[in-house]
Amino acid sequence: MSSFLEKPNTVPQAMECSYCHVSRKVLNRRLPKGWKRQDDTVWCARCWSEQYVLRAVTVPVVVNLTWTELNTALHQMWAATTQASNWMLTELFTRDVRRTIEEKMPPMGPVYLYPEARVRFPILPSRSIAALEQAVKAKYRARRYDVIWRCAASLSTYRYPTPFPVPNQAWSLAFVNEQPVVSLRVADLRVQMRLKGGPRYHRQLSALRDLDEGQAVPGQLDLYQKGSDLLCKMVAWLPRRRQTSE
């Protein structure tokens, strides 16, 4: 008789690449480092890197000056992402180890800020908070040795407007009248943003075509401001053959 008190399965299981059929032993069906899952297909790190290359595609948004409601929502998101990023960075530093008599810096213990961040910043979507936590942790770990061990650097600071992250499950792209249009949610608004096109953006449009046709794998989208421009940065795994031939 099964029970919810039973321990999770800790017996190693074999996971096989759908292409080269190399196998790795894993626990709880978690993907090995570098492996990817796309729909029902599992890729090993080598096969994935042979087929796809990671690129960031940045295109300005055609902003309608009458979008006052959207403009207000964007500034709310940027303010919240800036506050949340600085709070997470401070919490990581506060909960980290301190140098005493150790000769080597101890590894960083597990810190899970998502539940507290959801309470502190309810305006941010749950997936955006998860994306922020990953990005802030990566930035903190990169400077952790200099900050807490050598005391050679100060803690970083995020400045407004920190980009608003939208995970790949929360945005979509389509071409409407041959113009790329991104659909996503900003605060309580479901918006469609038309991106700039023309010969100047022919490389970006080629990558967006791959996304629209399903030949590329979408990643995170960031909305940020540069000067007076609203920019949309989409990270995507693009077909390697297409990239090397251009």
How would residue 101 be classed by pLDDT, with cut points 50, 70 and 90?
A: confident
Average pLDDT over the chain, rounded to an integer: 88
**Within the chain, which residue ranges are assigned CATH 2.40.280?**
53-66+164-245
**In the predicted structure, residue 236 carries a pLDDT above the cut 90:** yes
CA dihedral for 115, 117, 120, 123, sign (positive or negative): negative
E strand map for the chain: 13-16, 23-26, 36-38, 41-43, 52-60, 164-166, 171-176, 179-186, 189-194, 217-226, 229-239
Q: Which of the two residues, 37 and 90, has the higher pLDDT score?
A: 90
How would residue 34 be classed by pLDDT, with cut points 50, 70 and 90?
A: confident
Q: Contacts by 143-148 with C-beta closer than 8 Å and gap 24+?
A: 144/96, 144/105, 144/108, 145/105, 147/93, 148/93, 148/96, 148/97, 148/98, 148/99, 148/105
The pTM assigned to this predicted structure is: 0.83
> pLDDT value at position 244?
44
Fold type of domain 53-66+164-245: Small Protein B; Chain: A; (2.40.280)
Mean pLDDT of 232-236: 96
> pLDDT value at position 231?
95
